[in-house]
Each structure stands twice: as structure tokens, then as C-alpha cells.
């Protein structure tokens, strides 16, 4: 009996416990999305009854989405670092992304911009609901399509080579939701607080942004995954830059998060325009999911 027990590999229990860690980060992702929906609903109720407190709820919802992006980034990295990547973990992460970066931001934009600005019988209200639904469908379709491509690249694309892990094909859904959350974080007061005229104008701009983000998510435009960032040698200067960036993010989050979100969403468009102008085309390769690349 002692010989059998001695033959068991060491740290077996610890190894099994490591599989729970990435799941905890994904659960944190789901929790932030859940709270963002609740705070969005509470913010809309406050906008109709207590306008002064509505901004606080919307800001909390936007911050929750920002934290969800952090959790979503960490779960894949932790899974690879601990070699605990599993198929169920990848699927769980995708389902979590549909809730947190699909349903939660649409609820936030609906409660912050659409519902307070337009009456339910207004045509522009109906257009807003349709655009939010299209945004959600584009995000869900992107996750489903690229998860399938990642699992069966050679079936979906004849002669495909290795997965291009340095780039996403199409805008990932977390940065799309991040841009919407950054806008709300920058100006958390419900749009009806600016008066009927400005509220109508700003909401229409949000409509245009929703259409653009939905189109980018299902497009073939490439976005950097920053997967190679972990292989870069960390120097003292880089540590100082990261620390300084963290301080800027802490003290000026309203501006820093918005700038970062705009830069990320915009860099794919700029790269696509540059390649189109110069006639350069990158080789087509199956995309990877957020869970594998973040």
C-alpha cells in the first residue's frame, strides 16, 4: 500500500487546484458583467427619478466593464502560464464574453443614452434598439466564428498555415465594449441631462459608433493581440514607463482609458488604410479567440 502511494506523482493535488485559478478570473469577468447590468438599470431608474445620483451608477457600470476586461485578459494568460488550458475553459470564457461584453454594454448604452433621450414611440428609439441588437449579434457571431476557426482552421480554410496569434481578425468584443464603457466613464451623466437638443445629437453619434463597432467586429481588419509583449525583455526603463502609465491611469482614468480605447480601435483601421493605400496585403490566417490570445 505504501509503495502505491509513493508512486503517485508529487503535487498532484496542487496541479488539480491550478485548474481552478483561470476559472476564477472568468467568474470575476461574469460577476463584473452582472453588476454592470444591475448598475445600468439602477442608473436609468435614478435618471428618471433622482437625476443627481444617476451618474454614479452609470460610472460604476462602466468601471465594472473595465475590470471585466482585466479579468478577461488575465484568465487566458494564467491558464497558459500554469498549463491549465482546457476546452471547457475556452468555451466558458466565450460564454462569459457574450454576457459581459455583449449584453452588459448594450444595457449600459440603452439606459444611459437611448431610453432617457427618446420616447418609446419615437422612430429614433426603435433605431437605437435595432442598432444595439445588431451590435450584440455581431459580437456573438465574432466569438462563434473565430472559436470555430481556432478549433478547425484547416477545415474552414483550405491550405491554412499556423494560427496568426499576433493578430486578431476583426475587432475583439472586449475592446469594443471597452470603448463604450470609456465614453460613459468620461461622461457618466445620462444624456438627457444635457437637454433635449444635445441629448438627441449625442445619442445619434452613439448610434453611428455602434454601427461602426459592429462592422469592425465582423470585418477582416487585423488588430494586434499583443501576444508577443510577454516575450519582450523587461528593462528598468520599461518598468518605469509601466509604473508611470499606472499612475496616469489612476489619477486621470477618464481621459487615459478613453484615449487608450480609441487608439486600439483606431489602430486597426489605420493599418488597414495603410495596407490598402500601399497595396500590401497580409497573409490570410485563421483568427484566434480572446481566450487564447489575451
Helix%, strand%, coil% for the chain, nearest 5:
80, 0, 20
Residue 152 three-state SS = coil
Residue 104 lies in a domain: yes
pLDDT digits (tens, 9 = 90+) for 187-203: 999 998 888 899 999 99
Residue 5 lies in a domain: no
* Average pLDDT estimate for 99-121: 94
Residue 71 lies in a domain: yes
- Residue 169: which pLDDT band, with cuts at 50, 70 and 90? confident
Residue 169 three-state SS = strand
The mean-pLDDT minimum among 3-7, 202-206, 261-265 falls in: 3-7
Structural domain for 202, as ranges: 10-293
* pLDDT(85) > 80: no
Residue 24 lies in a domain: yes
Percent of residues, the chain, with pLDDT higher than 70:
73
What distance, in Å, lies between the first and last C-alpha atoms of the chain?
45
Please name which of 218, 223, 129 lies closest in space to residue 167, comparing C-alpha atoms: 223
Q: What's the CATH number where 51 sits?
A: 1.20.120.1760
The mean-pLDDT minimum among 3-12, 44-53, 101-110, 124-133 falls in: 3-12
Give the total number of structural domains in the chain: 1
Would you state the pLDDT for residue 252?
Answer: 85
Would you state the pLDDT for residue 93?
Answer: 80
Percent of residues, the chain, with pLDDT higher than 90:
46
In angstroms, what CA-CA distances link 67 with 116, 174, 211, 257? 26, 11, 25, 12
The angle formed by the CA atoms of residues 185, 191 and 194, to the nearest 5 degrees, is 115
Would you state the pLDDT for residue 283?
Answer: 47
Residue 208 lies in a domain: yes
- Residue 232: which pLDDT band, with cuts at 50, 70 and 90? low
pLDDT digits (tens, 9 = 90+) for 8-29: 444 455 455 556 777 888 889 9
- Residue 238: which pLDDT band, with cuts at 50, 70 and 90? low
Q: Return the number of other C-beta atoms located less than 10 Å from residue 28's C-beta.
A: 19
- Residue 167: which pLDDT band, with cuts at 50, 70 and 90? confident
3-state SS of 3-18? HHHHCCCCCHHHHHHH
Residue 2 lies in a domain: no
* pLDDT(214) > 80: yes
Comparison of pLDDT for 94 and 86, the residue scoring more: 94
* pLDDT(285) > 70: no
Would you state the pLDDT for residue 292?
Answer: 40
**Phi, psi angles (nearest 5°) of residue 169:** -105, 110
* pLDDT(87) > 50: yes
* pLDDT(147) > 80: no
- The residues with which 223 forms a beta bridge, in sequence order, are 168
Would you state the pLDDT for residue 291?
Answer: 43
* pLDDT(31) > 60: yes
- How far is 85 from 81, CA to CA, in rounded Å? 9
- How far is 66 from 251, CA to CA, in rounded Å? 15
Contact of 106 with 33, CB cutoff 8 Å:
no
Q: Which helix (H) or strand (E) holds 67?
A: helix 51-81
* pLDDT(115) > 80: yes
The alpha helices in 110-235, defined as continuous H runs, are 115-117, 123-151, 153-156, 173-186, 196-217
Q: What is the CA radius of gyration of the chain?
A: 21
Contact of 174 with 69, CB cutoff 8 Å:
yes
- pTM value is 0.82
- How far is 190 from 108, CA to CA, in rounded Å? 10
Would you state the pLDDT for residue 286?
Answer: 45
Residue 23 lies in a domain: yes
Residue 3 lies in a domain: no
Q: Are strands 222-224 and 167-169 parallel, antiparallel or unpaired?
A: antiparallel
* pLDDT(282) > 70: no
Would you state the pLDDT for residue 152?
Answer: 59
Amino acid at each position: 500500500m505504501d509503495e502505491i502511494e509513493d508512486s503517485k506523482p508529487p503535487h498532484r493535488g496542487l496541479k488539480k487546484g491550478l485548474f481552478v485559478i483561470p476559472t476564477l478570473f472568468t467568474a470575476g469577468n461574469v460577476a463584473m458583467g452582472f453588476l454592470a447590468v444591475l448598475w445600468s438599470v439602477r442608473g436609468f431608474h435614478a435618471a428618471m427619478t433622482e437625476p443627481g445620483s444617476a451618474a454614479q451608477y452609470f460610472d460604476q457600470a462602466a468601471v465594472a466593464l473595465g475590470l471585466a476586461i482585466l479579468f478577461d485578459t488575465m484568465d487566458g494568460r494564467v491558464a497558459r502560464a500554469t498549463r491549465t488550458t482546457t476546452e471547457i475553459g475556452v468555451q466558458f470564457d466565450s460564454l462569459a464574453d457574450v454576457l459581459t461584453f455583449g449584453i452588459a454594454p448594450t444595457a449600459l448604452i440603452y439606459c444611459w443614452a437611448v431610453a432617457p433621450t427618446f420616447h418609446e414611440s419615437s422612430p429614433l428609439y426603435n433605431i437605437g434598439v435595432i442598432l444595439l441588437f445588431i451590435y450584440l449579434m455581431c459580437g456573438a457571431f465574432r466569438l462563434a466564428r473565430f472559436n470555430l476557426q481556432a478549433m478547425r482552421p484547416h477545415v474552414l480554410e483550405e491550405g491554412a498555415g499556423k494560427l496568426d496569434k499576433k493578430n486578431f481578425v476583426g475587432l475583439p468584443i472586449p475592446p469594443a465594449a471597452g470603448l463604450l464603457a470609456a465614453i460613459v466613464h468620461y461622461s457618466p451623466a445620462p444624456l438627457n441631462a444635457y437637454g433635449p437638443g444635445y441629448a438627441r445629437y449625442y445619442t445619434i453619434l452613439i448610434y453611428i459608433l455602434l454601427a461602426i463597432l459592429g462592422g469592425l467586429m465582423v470585418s477582416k481588419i487585423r488588430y494586434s493581440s499583443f501576444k508577443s509583449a510577454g516575450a519582450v525583455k523587461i528593462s528598468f526603463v520599461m518598468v518605469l514607463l509601466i509604473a508611470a502609465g499606472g499612475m496616469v491611469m489612476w489619477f486621470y482614468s477618464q481621459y487615459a482609458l478613453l484615449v487608450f480605447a480609441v487608439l486600439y480601435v483606431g489602430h486597426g483601421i489605420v493599418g488597414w488604410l495603410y495596407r490598402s493605400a500601399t497595396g500590401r496585403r497580409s497573409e490570410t490566417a485563421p483568427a484566434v479567440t480572446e481566450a487564447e490570445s489575451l
